[in-house]
Chains A and B, each alone.
Chain A
Amino acid sequence: MRAAGWSWLALSGFGSALAALTLAPGLWPWVTYPRATPLELLGGHLALVGLSTLAAVVAGLGLAIAVTRPAGRAFLPLARTLASAGQTFPPTAVLILMVPALGFGRGPAWAALALYGVLPVFANTVEALLAVPEAIREAARGLGFRPAQILWRVELPLSRPLILAGVRTSTVVNVGTAAIGATVGAGGLGAPILSGLVTQNNGYLAEGAILAGLLALTLDAGFGVLGAAGDVRSSR
């Protein structure tokens, strides 16, 4: 079986487990977290991850494109250094540091996730754009593409697999980090985990952890499917 097949299998497996446990909580009667249904918790978590990752992707792509254009090229070494230094910070530290700046609640969690999520997208996009062979760029220029056309029709499509890998990393890491967001009052699947830790209630703990784990696995498999479908050169 090819990689695309495994990704489909994983996606449907993890996805249906996630859906079943969320939509039919009767399946696991020990679930007792009283303040929200599994669906509400999952929804809150997805909103946290989705919005922050979206912002991260836009910012990461934009920055990467900017520093690989002739006008922004001077900032390339600096931006790469900052990005790799940024990735050595544990995501939790970024989250906690946001609290003094933005207080408690969804705001700081959202900002921390977005900020941390930028790095893999940025780093991968920069590497991908720099890896586009000079001959291809030269041919595109020589045939009469405008700079924006070279970017959209040649550079970004060729960079797609690496960019997608960056978005994948960013998303999956954010699913985990968002759970820690409960410590700063961001809600989501971290809420029952935190509550379970504080009250030593394994049921709460299991509910949050299992759903968060399945969500991460589902999203990861989803990106696997996307990646396999988009790579024309391996789709035969």
Chain B
Amino acid sequence: MITFEAVTRRYGAMTALDAVSLTVPDHQLCVLLGPSGSGKSTLLRLVNRLLEAHAGRILVDGRDIRSYRAELLRRTIGYVIQNVGLFPHWKVADNVATVPRLLDWERPRIRARVAEVLDLVGLPAGIYGGRYPHELSGGEAQRVGVARALASDPPILLMDEPFSAVDPLGRQRIQGEFLEIQRRLRKTVVFVTHDVDEAIRLGDRIALLKDGRLVQHDRTEVLLERPATPFVAEFLGRDRALKRLSRVQARALARAGDPPGSAGAAPLAAGALPETTDLRLALAHFLESGTDRVALKDGQDGITGWLHRQDLEALARSGGQA
């Protein structure tokens, strides 16, 4: 758990953060969202003491971070930055091994762990471990950046606009992959972005900042449903209903339907949607097809239920509580 208590940070005469209090619960991904200059990056960099707060304090699991030596604190917190910052003179495997080496792990343990995290981010160590950073695509480099941050299995991960330098298509894919990783590892993540869609897609919670102040912090669904101020509503966009739908998978609304008739399941599966489809895409399907219900299928093309358009619309009106 990360607790910010009335944290203030100034740059010269300018106040970048003004008495921000915020708690990030364990195993949750909390997005710090806001326009540029809102202080979100500053807030993140206070956690591993790349910056020091001028007032207030920050606790990790109840302990004031100033009671650690800064370098030792940082080795227990994963850190991913926008420009990746891979060391160009080290191979991918050496880059990933950075923190385990700083922690003086045994060599075999380091080697095993490097292979494990590279696999985790989808870059097999046998192929990528011996490459230099300049031989990687932007997306691959960013995956290595994530692997490097995860190498020592830190409980906390700080990510500063990690995917914003990746092209839009690659970004969507890497976001999806990261979500999968996070579902498995359940780190406590603080994630800075100015991209509302990214925040809504990834965040269990969103803390919206403006001019160095915390405007609203809540579960992402709550934020979309009940924006606290006009600024929040405007920043999240007028299509909040759609954004809410994008966070819910179709199977959450699945109804048992008629069992497949004599025609069998195969033709049905051809027109069915994967049950993991988000409801925003499902709505698009309804709009295009003009139908009122659609079959849902699992990974093996087995029909698992039916999604009804009226259920989806009811959900959109009710405020996203599935």
Residues of A within 8 A of B (CB): 133, 135-136, 138-146, 149, 154, 157-158, 232-233
* Complex Cα–Cα for A138 and B71 (A): 13
B79 touches A139 (CB 8 A): yes
A233 touches B83 (CB 8 A): no
Chain B: residues with Cβ within 8 Å of the partner, total of: 24
B79 touches A158 (CB 8 A): no
* Complex Cα–Cα for A144 and B101 (A): 11
B79 to nearest A CB, angstroms? Answer: 4
A145 touches B81 (CB 8 A): no
Q: Which residues of B contact A158 (CB under 8 A)?
A: 88-89
Interchain Cβ contacts under 8 Å between A and B, 17 examples: A133-B85, A139-B79, A139-B85, A139-B86, A140-B87, A141-B50, A141-B74, A142-B85, A143-B74, A143-B75, A143-B102, A144-B73, A144-B74, A144-B75, A146-B71, A154-B87, A158-B88
A135 touches B83 (CB 8 A): yes
* Complex Cα–Cα for A140 and B89 (A): 13
B88 touches A143 (CB 8 A): no
* Complex Cα–Cα for A142 and B148 (A): 12
Q: Is B164 an interface residue (CB 8 A)?
A: no
B89 touches A143 (CB 8 A): no
Q: Which residues of A contact B82 (CB under 8 A)?
A: 135
* Complex Cα–Cα for A140 and B95 (A): 10
B148 touches A143 (CB 8 A): yes
Q: Which residues of B contact A154 (CB under 8 A)?
A: 87
Contact pattern, B 63-89, Cβ under 8 Å of A = 1, otherwise 0: 000000001111100010111111111
* Complex Cα–Cα for A140 and B48 (A): 12
Q: Is B132 an interface residue (CB 8 A)?
A: yes
A142 touches B87 (CB 8 A): no
Identify which of A133, A141, A144, A149 contacts B72 (C-beta below 8 A).
Answer: A144
Q: Which residues of B contact A133 (CB under 8 A)?
A: 83, 85
A-B contact count (CB 8 A): 59
Q: Which of B84, B86, B102 has the most CB of A within 10 A?
A: B102
A152 to nearest B CB, angstroms? Answer: 12
* Complex Cα–Cα for A80 and B134 (A): 31
B154 to nearest A CB, angstroms? Answer: 10
Q: Which residues of A contact B88 (CB under 8 A)?
A: 136, 158, 233
12 A-B pairs besides A136-B85, A136-B87 with CB distance below 8 A are: A133-B83, A136-B86, A139-B79, A139-B87, A141-B50, A141-B74, A142-B79, A142-B158, A143-B102, A144-B71, A145-B71, A158-B88
Q: Which residues of B contact A141 (CB under 8 A)?
A: 50, 74
A233 touches B132 (CB 8 A): yes
Q: Is B20 an interface residue (CB 8 A)?
A: no
A233 touches B71 (CB 8 A): no
Q: Which residues of B contact A135 (CB under 8 A)?
A: 81-85
Residue of B nearest to A141 (CB): B50
A143 touches B81 (CB 8 A): no
A233 touches B79 (CB 8 A): no
* Complex Cα–Cα for A135 and B141 (A): 13
Q: Which residues of A contact B102 (CB under 8 A)?
A: 143-145, 149
Q: Which residues of B contact A232 (CB under 8 A)?
A: 89, 132
* Complex Cα–Cα for A135 and B50 (A): 13
Q: Which residues of B contact A146 (CB under 8 A)?
A: 71
B167 to nearest A CB, angstroms? Answer: 19
Q: Is B279 an interface residue (CB 8 A)?
A: no
* Complex Cα–Cα for A99 and B87 (A): 48
Knowing A233-B132, A233-B134 are in contact, say whether A142-B89 is a contact too (CB < 8 A).
no
Q: Which residues of A contact B50 (CB under 8 A)?
A: 138, 141-142
Q: Is B182 an interface residue (CB 8 A)?
A: no
